[in-house]
Structure 1
Amino acid sequence: MDGVLILDKPEGITSFGVVKAVKGTLKAKKVGHAGTLDPFATGVLPILINKATKIASDLLDKDKEYSATMKLGVETDTQDLTGKIVYESPEIAFEWEEIESVFKRFIGKIKQTPPAFSAIKYQGIPLYKWTRMGEKIPKKCRMVEVYSLKIKALDLPYVTFDITCSKGTYIRTLCTDIGRLLGCGAHLTRLRRLRCGRFTLKHAIPLKDIKPLFKANSLRDRLISIEEVLGKEVLRWD
C-alpha cells in the first residue's frame, strides 16, 4: 500500500501519535506526515504511506488554510493555551474596526520569529527540547506570507478568524504579534486546519474510522496515489 491518506486529526493527540496509530493498523513499513499539528489542534493532516514518504516535501511546501481563535489580554510562554501566563492586561476593550485595522497590517509578506516551543531544529535538536533544558537558543527571523486574514467572530476577549498562508507560518506567533501590536497581549486557543495544498476537509477521514475501513477492505478507496498528489493525475474527489 503506497499513497497518501488525508486524516482529520482529532484534539488531544500529537501528529506523531497519529502516525503511530496508522502504522499499527496498516502494519506498514514506513508512515510519516506532512505538516505538524499541535496536540490541541485539529484538521487536515496528510499521512504518507511507504513510497509516498519520499514526497513529503511536496506537501510541506503547499499553502495552508486555518480557522483559529485567539484570546486577547493574556500572553503565554508557548504562545498558546498550553503555556504559562507571562503577561496579563487589566482591561480589554476593542471595537471590531480596531482589531481589523491591526489584522490588515499582517497581510502580505511578514517576518516571524519562530517560537521557543517549536519543532524547528538547532544543531539537530528541536527548539522545544532546548527550551525545556533551560537553554536560550538564538532564533532567526524568517519571511512568511499571509494571503488572507479575516475576522469571523468577535466575542471579547476571543477573536475567531480565518487565515490562508504560506508554509512555515506559525499561527500562534501571529496571535502573539497581533496582541502586542494591540498593546494587550494574546495567545492562540483553537486551531483547525481546513486545507493543505489541494486537500481539504472533504478529503479527510476521521482517525477513528481508519480501523473499521481497513477491516472492511475499504481504506484503499480513500488512498490518494502519488501521481494524484503530484498533480500528474486528476484528484478523484475534485
Structure 2
Amino acid sequence: MTKSKKKMFDFEAGEILLIAKPIGWTSFDVVNKLKKALKIKKVGHTGTLDPFAAGLLIVLTGRKTKESAAFQQLPKTYRGILELGKTTDTLDIEGKTTETKPVPDLTKEHVEKVLKSFMGESLQVPPVYSALKIRGERAYKLARRNKPVHLEPRKIEIYAIQLLDFLGDKIYFQVNCSKGTYIRSLGRDIAERLETVGYIKALVRTQIGQYSLDDAVDVNEFIDSVGQKDH
C-alpha cells in the first residue's frame, strides 16, 4: 500500500494556511469560505488585503489564532503599478476619478530617486477609504456617506523600495514595508513628490515575513484537496 503524501491537518489544534487571495475577494470572504468548508469556529486572517489586490493571505485556524498579533507584526512585500496623471477617491482602480493633472517629463533616474526618498521611517496619512475607526465607526463608511474624515498620520517604515520599470505614466515597483503601511497612500505620496497625482492600478502581496506567495494555494483548490483527503 502506497503511503499518502497529502498533509494531515488538525484545524482545531491550529494550522497556518497560506492562501492566494484572488482579485475581487475581500479578506473576510476567504475567511468565511474556509470557516464554512472546514466547519470550525476559529478562523482568522493576519492582515487585510483590499478587494482590488491579490496575493498572499495568511489564515490561522483553531488555537493558532492566538498567535495572530505576532504574524501581524511581520514585514510585508508588495509589487504594484502606480498610474500617474489621475487619482481616485479610494486611491485605487476601483474608485471614482477625483482629479487629473499633467505628468511632468520624467526620467527613470528621477523616478528611482524619488522612490528611494521614501526609505526609512516616516509619517503616513492613511486613505479615507480604510477600515480604521473614527469614534467607533469605520472611516470608509463615513467616506461613503460624504462625511468628513480626518485621519492622523501614523508612523511606518519602508525597509526597501525598488523601481522595476517605468513606462510612460506607469511606475512598476516593489516595496518591503512595516505593519500599517498603506500602499495606496504610498502611491499618492510618490505621485505628489513627482508633482502630479496618481493611484494604484494593480497590487500583489508577495511576501509576509518568511512566508511567500510561491507557497500559497488558491482557496477553492485547498478546500477541494481537504475534501478529497477525507474521502
Establish whether TM, by shorter chain, passes 0.5: yes
Question: Aligned AA for 2:46?
Answer: A
Match of 1:181 among 193, 213, 216: 193
The aligned residue for residue 39 of structure 1 is 51
Say whether residues 1:169 and 2:181 are aligned partners: yes
- State the alpha-carbon separation in 1 of the partners of residues 80 and 72 from structure 2: 20
Alignment of 1:186-225 (within 5 A): 186-217=198-229
The aligned residue for residue 225 of structure 1 is none
Say whether residues 1:101 and 2:113 are aligned partners: yes
Q: 1:133: Cα distance to partner?
A: 2.2
* TM-score (norm: length of structure 2): 0.90
The aligned residue for residue 155 of structure 1 is 167
Question: Aligned AA for 2:94?
Answer: T
- State the alpha-carbon separation in 2 of the partners of residues 204 and 130 from structure 1: 35
Question: Aligned AA for 2:122?
Answer: I
Alignment of 1:34-113 (within 5 A): 34-113=46-125
- State the alpha-carbon separation in 2 of the partners of residues 90 and 137 from structure 1: 27
Say whether residues 1:138 and 2:150 are aligned partners: yes
Q: Is the 8 A contact 1:92 1:156 kept in 2?
A: no
- State the alpha-carbon separation in 1 of the partners of residues 173 and 104 from structure 2: 18
Q: 1:74: Cα distance to partner?
A: 0.8
Q: 1:92: Cα distance to partner?
A: 4.7
Question: Aligned AA for 1:58?
Answer: A
Q: 1:168: Cα distance to partner?
A: 0.4
Match of 1:6 among 5, 18, 23: 18
Please report the RMSD computed on the Cα atoms of aligned residues, expressed in angstroms: 1.3
Superposed CA deviations along residues 31-51 of structure 1, whole A, max 9, x for unmatched, are: 111110011111110111122
Q: Secondary structure at the match of 2:229?
A: coil
Superposed CA deviations along residues 26-83 of structure 1, whole A, max 9, x for unmatched, are: 1111211111001111111011112222111111111001111110111111111111
Match of 2:133 among 121, 131, 145: 121
- State the alpha-carbon separation in 1 of the partners of residues 214 and 94 from structure 2: 29
Percent identical: 35
Aligned length: 218
Superposed structure 1 runs of 4+ greater than 2 Å apart: 90-93
Q: Is the 8 A contact 1:75 1:185 kept in 2?
A: yes
Runs (5+) with no aligned partner, structure 2: 1-10
- State the alpha-carbon separation in 2 of the partners of residues 112 and 63 from structure 1: 16
Runs (5+) with no aligned partner, structure 1: 219-238
Q: Secondary structure at the match of 1:189?
A: strand
Q: Is the 8 A contact 1:72 1:92 kept in 2?
A: no
